[in-house]
Amino acid sequence: MPGFELFSDKERKEVNDVLDSGVLMRYGFDGNRNGHWKALALEKALAERMKVGYAQVVSSGTAALTIALASAGIGAGDEVIMPTFTFVASFESILALGAVPILVDVDDTLTLDPKAVENAITKRTKAVMPVHMCGSMADLKALKSICQNYKLLLLEDACQAIGGTFEGKPLGSYGDLGCFSFDYVKTVTCGEGGAIITNNKDYYTNADHFSDHGHDHIGKDRGAEGHPFLGYNFRISELHAAVGLAQIQRLDEFLAIQKKNYQILRETLEGIPEITFRRVPQAGEESYAFLSFFLPNANMAKEVHTALGEKGVDGCFYWFDNNWHYYRKWEHLIHKKSLGKLPKEVREQLPDYSKSDFSQSDEWIGRNISCLIKLGWSESEVQARALKMAEIIGSFLKQF
């Protein structure tokens, strides 16, 4: 991760197909395409790789989450349970539909705590959105059981975890709907892009229409197509889809490199008894996009993170102080800052997160450091990096 590290002639070939045809839009202009339909080809390849019936590729991961929720009928006043640790797109997608994001604690998986999820369910709850942060998954078996018991939608935000599996199923395919991001820094990149996957034909049809202004895509005359319901423009371009088409076919290649580099780092750090690692739920295999570990306390984690950066070990993240990924810095959500007037349901139902107790999340995130696993490292670079990290961490342990 990320896929742009290994761009090749495969990506260039797919992009040149589009440029040679001159058709950059995914719909229409049939006669000029020379048989090239990159978005359709990417959808077919993605559905096959993720072992699902349907895939819809769109303009971003944020768009994918928004469309997935809309496709299942989530709207104004509906509550969607999500974790305190994620990317801001998770709550943005909920708010975009007038729905209400309900934040709950994470546990040692760094993802949704099933007990916290069940405690947060109300009569307005319509969906649970686990976010498989940093390449590994939530306890999906427990969450699926909760969703079945309460008749809730299970939407997997797998934007950071493409290639991981749970009970042998690709992440994103375990719930009712799954979403991916293909932005510039993801394992599979389109530059900008995203996707929804599902086995539910109705959700797929709704996603197909909603992402293109409500077009029903029936017939060959785009101007004569019907509009069964309101939609918006979340289309992906053929250029972006072309890059993704080459990249999805290389996913197993990328995952093998990530796993190899991850294991070198982890095996070295496992020699430090004070370090523990995030819990991967039983029957799950992460995508190895990040190595996430815990230090004995938050002060040490923060100082170690600073030292790693100062001594040239880049790509390590201390999420507790991160502006984008942890609730503590989401002032715009906490204080309901918006350019326009927020929907009444959001204004009235959104909890006062300035007073919320997320001490359980603080405990786990405060002690955590996550290190990005790069595809472009040589084996000697990874080994040197591992030894340097162990040396830096060891020096701090001696001081505490």
Residues with catalytic roles: 186
Would you state the structure tokens that stand for residue 293, as one six-digit string? 């570990």
Report the SS3 class of residue 81: strand
Q: Which residues contact 98 (CB under 8 A, 6 or more apart)?
A: 75, 76, 77, 343, 345, 346
Burial of 228 (0-12, 13-18, 19+ CB in 10 A): middle
Report the SS3 class of residue 279: coil
φ, ψ of residue 279 to 5 degrees: the values are -80, 125
> Measured at the alpha carbon of residue 315, what is the angle toward residues 132 and 189, in degrees to the nearest 5?
55
| Residue recorded with tokens 């997935």 | 68
Angstrom distance (rounded) from CA 14 to CA 36: 9
21-28 long-range contacts, Cβ below 8 Å, gap at least 24?
23/238, 24/237, 24/238, 24/239, 25/235, 25/237, 25/238, 26/235, 26/236, 26/237, 26/238, 26/241, 27/212, 27/215, 27/217, 27/222, 27/235, 28/222
Centre a 10 Å sphere on the Cβ of residue 31 and count the other Cβ atoms it contains: 7
Cα 147 to chain centroid distance, Å, stands at 20
Would you say the C-alpha torsion 326, 343, 154, 47 has a positive or negative sign? negative
CB 349 within 8 A of CB 107: no
